[in-house]
Structure formats: C-alpha cells, structure tokens
Amino acid sequence: MKTNDTHLLGSLVCLTDQHVAGINTLELVDGQQRITSLTILLKVVQERFKHLKESDIVKEIESYLICKGIDRKLRTKVLLGDLDNPDYIKLMKNEERDLIKNQNLIYAYDYFSDRLSDYSNDKLNEFYFKLLNNVKVIRLDVDQAKDAYKLFETINNRGLRLSPTDIIKNFLLGHASTFSEETLQKVRDNWKHIIINLDGIDTDDFFRQYMSSILKRKVTKSKLIDQFKRHYLNKVEDADKLPEYQLYSDIEIENDDDEIKSELSDSNDNLQVDFEQDQNGNSKLKKISITIFSQLLKEASIIYSKMLNRKFINGKINQHLFNLQRIKSFPSYILLLDIFQRKLKENIIIGLLKQIEVFMLRRHICEYRTGELDDIFSNLVKISNENITEEIRKQLSKHLPSDYDFEGKFLLHSYKGNANRAKYVLEMLEYDLIDDKGEYVLNTGNEVHLEHVIPQTINTKKSKRDYGNWEKYLGAGSLDMHKDYIHRIGNLTLLAQKLNIVASNNPYKAKCKEYKKSNIKITLSIADQFHEFRFTEIEKRSKDLAKIAHNIWQLQ
C-alpha cells in the first residue's frame, strides 16, 4: 500500500477495571485473535531486525511486547487463556518449540517468517513504519461486563460470521454478567474448563451433539444457535429478562423437563435441584440457575472428552470406543454422551457399545445413508434405563441391513481410504478364527500394518524392476481388474511392520515366506491355503470371510 494509505483491522471491545498501581489489565471481549496475531507478527519483525543488526528497533519492539510489574519481572503484555498461554510464552521466548501443542500459533509464526524472510533493510523499515502508523483499530472500552458482551453481539451481527461456540460463549457470559460478579466468575470458570476439556476437539461438534442428546432430536449446525437459545431461555432463571426471550415466547417450546431432570440427577449428585407442583399436582422442574446450567455443560464436556480421547478407567470401554472411531461412528456420540452420564453398570455400557459397533459396521459396508444417523441416535436417547440393552437392540434392528445384504456387500466392499476400518474388521475376524477368550489383544497400531496381498502398485517400471512383474503374473486385463479387486477384504490381511517391510511388493511366493513367520492366524492361513494368489483367490477368500462376518456382526 502507499505511504499514506491506511488499513482498518476492525474494532476491539475491552472490558476495563479500576485503575491500580502497577500493571493494569484489559479483558479483550472481542479481538483476541487479531491481537495475538499482531504480537506474533511484531515478534517476527523484531527477529528480522535483529538479524539485520538494528538494535534500536529491536529494543523499541520489545517495549511493545514486554512489560514489568511492581516485582520488576518481565512478562508478555498479552496474556492468553489458561490453555494457550504456556504455548504462547514458549513461542515468544523461542523456547521448546517442539512442546507447543497449539499448531495455530506455530502456523502464524512460520507464515510471517516466510513472508518477511527476504526483506531487505529498507523494505523491512517501510513495512514496520506502515504497520505502526497506517494500520488502525477502533478500541471500545466498556467498564460493565453486560455492556461489553452486548456490544460484542451487536458488532458481530455484521460482517464475518462467528462460530457457534463463540456465539454461545458470548450469550452465556453476557447473561451471567447481569447477575453478581460472583455468578459471572463461576460461569466464566465453568466455560474455561469446557474449553480446556475440549482441547483438540471441535467445540461446535460438541455443542451440536450435546443439544441433539438433550432435545432427543437431530440438531443441525445451521440451527444450533437457535436451538441452544430456545432451550436456555426455557430452562434458566431470569432468562425471560433477556431481549431474545420475547422472540422465543411466541414460539411453542417443547417441554423437556424430563430430560433436564434426568440430566441433573445423573450427571452430578452435588447439584441442588428443586421441583414444584403445577396446577394439576404434577411434579415440575423449577428453572435452574445459570451456574447449574454452565456446570451441566462442563460435566458433559468432561464425558465428551473422555469418549473422544478414550480416557475411561475401564480398558474394555476404551477399546470399544476405539473400534467405533475406526469404523467411523461419529453420529453415535449423540447417544453415547447421554449413556455415559447415566448411572449404568459398565457391563451394560460395554454391551451397548458392541451393539453400536455391529450397527455401524453393517450400515457402512452396505453403504446405507449416513444422513439419517443423527435422527436414529437422538431418538434412542428417549429410551429409559429399564431394559435398555434390549430396547436399543430392537430399535437398531429396524435400521439394520439384513444378513443377506450384509454378506453380499461384505465380499465386494472396497476399503480404499478406510485402512483403520479394514484393520478393525480383520482384527475381529482374527479373534473369531482363534476362538479368543479375551486373553489376546492384537496391536494394530504402528506395529502391525494393513497388508495387500496383491500390491497396490503393479505397473510402474520401478515396481517391476525391484519386485517382479505382477502385471504379467495376474494375466491379461489385470490392470482393469486390479482397481476393482485390490481393496476388497479377500486381498487384505494384517502383518507385523518388520515382516511387511520385507514382503513389500514382492512376488506372492516371496510374500508367503514372511506370512509364515507371522503369529497372526488369518495371515498364516493365506500361505497355508493358497499356492498362487490372483483375482479368483481374492473372490474365494472374500466369500469365505463374508460367511464368517455375517455371524460376527450380529445384534445380541
């Protein structure tokens, strides 16, 4: 841009506090990412000037980034949240880069470094001058939290759309700010823990699946904010004083007192819940406080994190959750989020996880529509604890592919792009083959690879030179048939990493030597059963495995 051009970065909304001796802090209600990015940019500019030996400018930039308190200790002027601040400090101090978890910070740093890497002294000086003098922000200082959150909402109703999580945060904290400072602090603390609990997890997914679980119906991302606010305004004390309440008061809101009762009683025994009698003498849940509402969100975030990170004490539960992840069973988390908050015995939970494994694997193999899964799992939340295993089995059976369809599709199914699902299927086939009694756990992580008997690459000059002519071995028309057969279950097995490296793309007889060294029975059986291995052998093996699979993946 020209020297007299300016660039507007938008507005910052700052929540101020009383002026005190020492360092005075501002809470950024809006503009956190912009300020963080600017400080990282300044850090990169500083390092570039240091490389050019411009010590005066280096010290000048230091004064923008660093300050001293009464204790005379140096600290960064920007303080991020509890989750990201340790990473931010490491980045700004050029320390322990390998230990930084927040990759967005590293990405920003590397991006700016790359853009400025070839700047000469004059060009860098020009850029720095424009950054200081031509880049503008509008700073709005507000001394009342309720006004700050309202201003944030007003500003962000225009321009770039915020994520649902950002809008929910502002809505929740904005209402909390209308209560006492103590209430606001409790809700802030609960929100902080929600974000920490969901570190590395898509928070929008959490809120969408949480609302689907609470409301017992599918909630799409486009409707998430509307459904969250409607639920909140109907359930939280003094929510009728919010401007949004009038908007929703004219809309019939589904009565979900039973869901809230269950949520409160099952998730945390320490929460105090009161009930009252309606005009007909029925028990009715009183509206809950905003602190209890935020506490429920926090408790749900803990469960959700345990589910996705497989952090339950019971190892079998974690293994079945891992199986679901490999199958790709994300919609089932709507039901599981509810199940794990109920007071169910672990053997019942494991039984339910097994049922979902069967259900999801069969549907994926038969290529049933995934769009209806949110509806299926949100409806299952309605089932009570009494005889829950049998009731869920009955409901899942209504949407389950038949044995005939499953067996037919199983032998033709392509696992291309789904190596983890293939590993899961082969594991289960292995356990069945050895009649496992629970003593044996197959490690199909980095130690055990997914092996393609007929290699994935057969027609390159390198593969033919280094490993042999598979194209000639497979016969006429092999290239056309290859892409249809290569990812079928009959061509797949499991093989230890060191054996797989040797087997590689070698001719079949050379591969068999490595297969015979394996301890995995499903792999040994290939070498024992097949003296040659072409497309007809893939068909035969696929049919044999399909007959076994139809018995393994049964709802029980």
**CA-CA distance, 531 to 537, in Å (whole number)?**
10
SS3 per-residue string spanning 109-149: HHHHHHHHCCCCHHHHHHHHHHHHHCEEEEEEEECCHHHHH
**More confident position, 504 or 360:** 360
Percent of the chain residues topping a pLDDT of 70:
86
**CA-CA distance, 208 to 205, in Å (whole number)?**
5
pLDDT at 175: 87
Minimum mean pLDDT range among 106-110, 211-215, 546-550: 106-110
- The structure tokens 């002294």 sit at 121
Report whether 499 contacts 514 (CB < 8 A).
yes
SS3 at position 30: strand
**CA-CA distance, 456 to 266, in Å (whole number)?**
50
Q: Write the pLDDT tens digit of every residue in 420-446.
A: 999 999 999 999 999 987 777 887 677
SS3 at position 28: strand
Report whether 247 contacts 240 (CB < 8 A).
no
- The structure tokens 């007809």 sit at 536
Nearest CA among 438, 352, 366, 439 for reference residue 399: 366
pLDDT at 252: 46
pLDDT at 138: 73
SS3 at position 272: coil
Q: Does the pLDDT at position 176 exceed 50?
A: yes
**CA-CA distance, 209 to 326, in Å (whole number)?**
19
Which residues, at least 6 apart from 403, have a Cβ–Cβ distance to it below 8 Å?
A: 550
Tally of CA atoms within 13 A in the half-sphere of 531 that contains its CB = 0
pLDDT at 429: 96
> Helix, strand, coil: what percent of the chain each, to 5?
60, 10, 35
Mean pLDDT of 503-526: 92
Instruction: Give the other-Cβ count within 10 Å of 443's Cβ.
Output: 10
Q: Write the pLDDT tens digit of every residue in 204-258.
A: 999 999 999 999 999 999 999 989 999 998 899 888 877 666 666 554 444 444 5
Q: In angstroms, what CA-CA distances link 499 with 34, 146, 402, 489? A: 51, 64, 38, 20
Mean pLDDT of 249-278: 48
Instruction: Give the other-Cβ count within 10 Å of 88's Cβ.
Output: 20
Residue 418 in tokens: 């789904």
Give the chain's mean pLDDT.
85
**CA-CA distance, 508 to 491, in Å (whole number)?**
12
pLDDT at 66: 84
**CA-CA distance, 420 to 326, in Å (whole number)?**
5
Helical packing angle, 419-433 and 535-552, nearest 10°? 70
**CA-CA distance, 508 to 2, in Å (whole number)?**
68
Q: Does the pLDDT at position 265 exceed 60?
A: no
**More confident position, 204 or 179:** 204
* Partners of residue 236 on adjacent β-strands: 288
Report whether 264 contacts 273 (CB < 8 A).
yes
Q: Write the pLDDT tens digit of every residue in 471-493.
A: 889 988 888 899 999 999 999 99
**More confident position, 1 or 70:** 70
Phi–psi pair at 28, nearest 5 degrees: -80, 110
pTM: 0.77
**CA-CA distance, 99 to 101, in Å (whole number)?**
6
**CA-CA distance, 537 to 398, in Å (whole number)?**
35
